[in-house]
Structure formats: structure tokens, C-alpha cells
Amino acid sequence: MSRVALVTGGARGVGLAIAKRLLDDGFAVCVVDINDKALARLEEEGDDVDGRFEWQRASIVDRGEMERVFTDLVGRRGRFDVLVNNAGMTRAGTLLTQTDEEWDLVVDTNLKGPFICSAIAARYMKQGGGGAIVNIGSISAHGIRSGPPAYAAAKAGLEGLTRNSAIELGPDGIRVNLIVLGTIASKWLLQRKSEAELAEIRQSTLTGRLGEPDDVASVVSFLASEDAGHVTGQLFSVSGGQWLP
């Protein structure tokens, strides 16, 4: 029986790269997303990888929807092993201009969503004797670059949630870690940055390049595997040295 993973925000970009890597690792993977266009592209491609790849439209901040997704997934697959809290979003703004509504939206998506998904997933992992949760953070939590305060605060909070969850869930065989992302060359980023801006970002790294979605996926693969069986409560910088722990 294949190990089972769920990737939030997994219909495109980094999330899709993570899902594909876990499929290569032999997992059955469920992708959850609210991006209708990205989900439609998955449907058009129709590649279910021998029945191991599936996707559902659901909001990670809706506990009822996520309870349904997990109950259905475990009911059909018979187990649950790995959660990747990848879904995230931001809204432009500063401390003086960001609205309360924008704050709530960004913090809910980047922090409340992972809290809800982790709480539900942990119940099923405990029943199965353990598992792994991988949270996707950002160098924004460490003041490496300016940006919307809601996003920085939410990602900093996600690091606290990671450590707290690792302490609570460790006795149940559940490992919880976080990947601190630097600038990743997603389609979304490349469409919004000029060549001059991209060149400046490359100069801010020690590797002289932008990160690729597969750079993130390879670290998720490790943290989801038994090779990381004694690794929990840790932050892993995948930033090309933009942030040095």
C-alpha cells in the first residue's frame, strides 16, 4: 500500500513540483487548491499516475471542507502519512497602508490554514503510528526583505506553530519541520518582476541564481522520508543563502 500525502496549494508552481516529487517517491498524492484555472489544467492533462494522483477544490481555512477532504482520502486510501502546508498568499501593503481585511485574509491563509490542516492530519497520523508535516515558510519572517506586514507576521507565526507542534506531536511519532523559502522562480514571480529586479535578486543570493520549485521539492522529499526520521522542529533554509540560520 502506497504511503499517502496531501499537498495544499498544489495545483501549480512550487506545490505542483512538490506533488510530482512525492509521486516519484511512490506516494499517493492528493492536491488541494482553490485556483480553478490551475485545477482545470490538471483535469485537462488527466495524468493520475496509475491512480495515485488526485486533486480536490477546497479551502484550507474552512475546517468543515478540510475534514471532508481528509475523511474521504483516508477512507479510500486506508492511511495518511505526510502533510505539506504549502498554500499561501499575500497582499501588497505597508504597516501604514495594509487594511484589516487584507491582514485577516493573509494571516488566515498562511497561518490559520496550516493550523487547521495540521490538527486534522495529526489525528489520522496518530492512528497510523506517526507521520510528517512539512510547513513552507519564507525569509520574510526574518526581515531579509521588506514586504507586507501581514505576510511577514504570518510566516513568523508559522515557525512558532512548527516548533510547538513538533513538541506536542513528537511522542506520537509525528515529525514537524519548516522550509524557509527564498526567492523561487515560479511563473507568478517571473511574470511580475522586471529583468533588472530579477538580476538584483540573483545578486542577493550566494549561489547567484533564483531558486527553482524542484529545489524545494527535493528538501520536502527528504523531510517526508524515513531518512529524516530523527529530524523534527527544525527550519531548513532553501534560499541560496539569502537567509543564513
Please tell me what DSSP assigns to residue 111.
I
Marked catalytic residue, from 27, 103, 151, 236:
151
List the CATH code of the domain at 4-237. 3.40.50.720
Domain boundaries, the chain: 4-237
Instruction: Give me the residues paired with residue 142 across strands.
Output: none
pLDDT tens-digit series, residues 190-244 = 888 888 989 999 999 999 999 999 999 999 999 999 999 999 999 999 999 999 9
Cα separation, 67 vs 73, whole angstroms? 10
Q: Are 161 and 104 in contact (CB under 8 A)?
A: no
**Would you call 124 a catalytic residue per the annotation?**
no
State residue 189's pLDDT score: 78
Mean pLDDT by 10 residues, the chain (245 residues): 95 97 98 96 82 96 98 98 97 95 98 98 97 98 87 97 98 98 86 88 94 97 98 98 93
End-to-end CA separation in angstroms for the chain:
38
State residue 145's pLDDT score: 73
Burial class (CB in 10 A: 0-12, 13-18, 19+), 236: buried
Record the pTM.
Answer: 0.96
